[in-house]
């Protein structure tokens, strides 16, 4: 790819076989705008004609190109609106102006398009995938600006028709959308790799920690469990109230309450049950449990708690305005423990898999960043 002169009407990045400036116009000049017809969730069925509901653009269709249709309905299609291959669809309503700018290209004809869907039917040889990517990238905030409403945001053809678009020849449009589609495919493959690692780890944890011949202990009998001392006011940092803090993050506090290798467990709120390992000097918020002075491998206990603590909390947590778990419940949690050699083997196996999982998740983030970069630089 080549970088182009930013003074010309061309993108920052371009395939070398293409030249000349891009055309520009509005959505109304390159497409006809219409709307789908109502299909509700309770009208979906196992059999019938494929259909798309507007809410599925937020939940089921996460990339710009829709190749496989998930839902069906058996209602009479004569009264409904059907797609033509290459149509671009955008929701008519959503929770925010930015979220509503969610364009998808439908690659198949005769798909029933539900109500609350804007249909952008392109004229001539324009590539729907190219325009879906452009609308989700460079034009996303232009669309957000014309959306109407506060608590529920609405977006209709009248709002969309004036949105400006830039476009090259049909051949260049297809080349750009093909590249981005390959990245989307790689992202989906990466997600499946991550799901398989997660499934493998869950399965191994359920098996490796649960043999009958293991000894059983209360958590409070194999480590010391105390709580942090700092109240919320002492822990304010940039308006945040962390459940625990490592020494490097503490401002204006010179006397550290802890200097140890420990597991820290969030005892309440949205992060209830979150486990953090730290070795060194630190302070902790009042609702953070500090586990140290272990009589068995701390890494084994960390992996065990990461597997079973959330379920235990769900069974016994105190429910109120702020959910929390009490010290007694945590102390009485039963831990199944094998001999030290088995502990070490389990730690080695699961730690290796979790490291691989972490690397795969990082790769997914990188693919997302790559796509974001291309959406910003392949379009005007």
Domain extents for the chain?
A: 23-167, 170-207+339-380, 215-337
User: Cα(28)–Cα(373) distance, rounded to whole angstroms?
Assistant: 28
3-state secondary structure of 329: helix
**364 close to 194: Cβ distance less than 8 angstroms:** yes
Dihedral sign computed on CA atoms, order 151, 156, 160, 161 = negative
Which 8-state DSSP code applies to residue 5?
-
| This prediction's pTM | 0.82
Q: Return the pLDDT at 338.
A: 97
Q: Return the pLDDT at 7.
A: 66
- The helix/strand count (H/E) of the chain reads as 11, 22
- Which CATH number does 215-337 carry? 3.90.220.20
3-state secondary structure of 239: coil
Low-confidence ranges of the chain (pLDDT < 70): 2-7, 230-255, 316-322
User: Cα(263)–Cα(299) distance, rounded to whole angstroms?
Assistant: 9
Which 8-state DSSP code applies to residue 207?
H
Helix, strand, coil percent content, the chain, rounded in steps of 5: 40, 25, 35
Q: Is-same-fold flag (23-167; 170-207+339-380)?
A: no
User: Cα(268)–Cα(326) distance, rounded to whole angstroms?
Assistant: 9
User: Cα(313)–Cα(53) distance, rounded to whole angstroms?
Assistant: 37
In CATH terms, the fold of domain 170-207+339-380 is: Helix Hairpins (1.10.287)
Dihedral sign computed on CA atoms, order 271, 273, 278, 284 = positive
**116 close to 92: Cβ distance less than 8 angstroms:** yes
Q: Return the pLDDT at 61.
A: 94
Q: Return the pLDDT at 231.
A: 66
Q: Return the pLDDT at 371.
A: 96
Q: Return the pLDDT at 242.
A: 46
Q: Return the pLDDT at 233.
A: 57
User: Cα(68)–Cα(115) distance, rounded to whole angstroms?
Assistant: 20
Tokens in use for 110? 């005769």
In CATH terms, the fold of domain 23-167 is: Adenine-n6-DNA-methyltransferase TaqI; Chain A, domain 2 (3.90.220)
């Amino acid at each position: 790819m080549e970088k182009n002169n930013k003074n010309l009407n061309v993108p920052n990045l371009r395939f070398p076989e293409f030249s000349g400036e891009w055309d520009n116009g509005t959505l109304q000049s390159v497409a006809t705008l219409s709307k789908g017809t109502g299909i509700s969730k309770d009208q979906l069925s196992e059999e019938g004609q494929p259909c798309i509901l507007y809410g599925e653009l937020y939940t089921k269709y996460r990339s710009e190109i829709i190749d496989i249709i998930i839902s069906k309905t058996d209602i009479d299609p004569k009264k409904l609106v059907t797609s033509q291959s290459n149509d671009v669809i955008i929701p008519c309503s959503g929770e925010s102006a930015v979220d509503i700018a969610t364009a998808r290209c439908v690659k198949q004809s005769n798909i029933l398009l539900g109500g609350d869907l804007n249909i952008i039917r392109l004229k001539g040889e324009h590539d729907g995938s190219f325009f879906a990517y452009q609308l989700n990238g460079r034009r996303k905030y232009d669309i957000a600006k014309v959306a109407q409403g506060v608590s529920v945001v609405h977006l209709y053809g009248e709002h969309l028709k004036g949105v400006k678009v830039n476009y090259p020849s049909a051949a260049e449009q297809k080349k750009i959308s093909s590249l981005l589609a390959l990245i989307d495919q790689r992202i989906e493959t990466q997600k499946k790799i991550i799901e398989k690692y997660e499934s493998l780890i869950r399965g191994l944890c359920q098996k490796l920690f649960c043999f009958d011949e293991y000894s059983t202990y209360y958590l409070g009998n194999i480590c010391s469990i105390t709580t942090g001392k700092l109240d919320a006011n002492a822990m304010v940092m940039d308006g945040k109230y962390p459940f625990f803090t490592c020494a490097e993050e503490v401002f204006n506090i010179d006397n550290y309450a802890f200097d140890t290798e420990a597991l820290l467990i969030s005892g309440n709120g949205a992060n209830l049950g979150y486990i953090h390992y730290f070795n060194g000097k630190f302070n902790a918020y009042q609702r953070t449990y500090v586990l140290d002075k272990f009589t068995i491998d701390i890494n084994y206990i960390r992996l065990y708690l990461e597997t079973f603590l959330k379920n235990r909390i769900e069974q016994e947590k105190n429910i109120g305005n702020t959910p929390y778990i009490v010290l007694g419940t945590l102390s009485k949690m039963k831990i199944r423990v094998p001999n030290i050699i088995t502990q070490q083997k389990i730690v080695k196996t699961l730690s290796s898999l979790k490291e691989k999982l972490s690397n795969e998740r990082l790769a997914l983030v990188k693919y997302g960043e790559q796509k974001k970069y291309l959406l910003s630089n392949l379009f005007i």
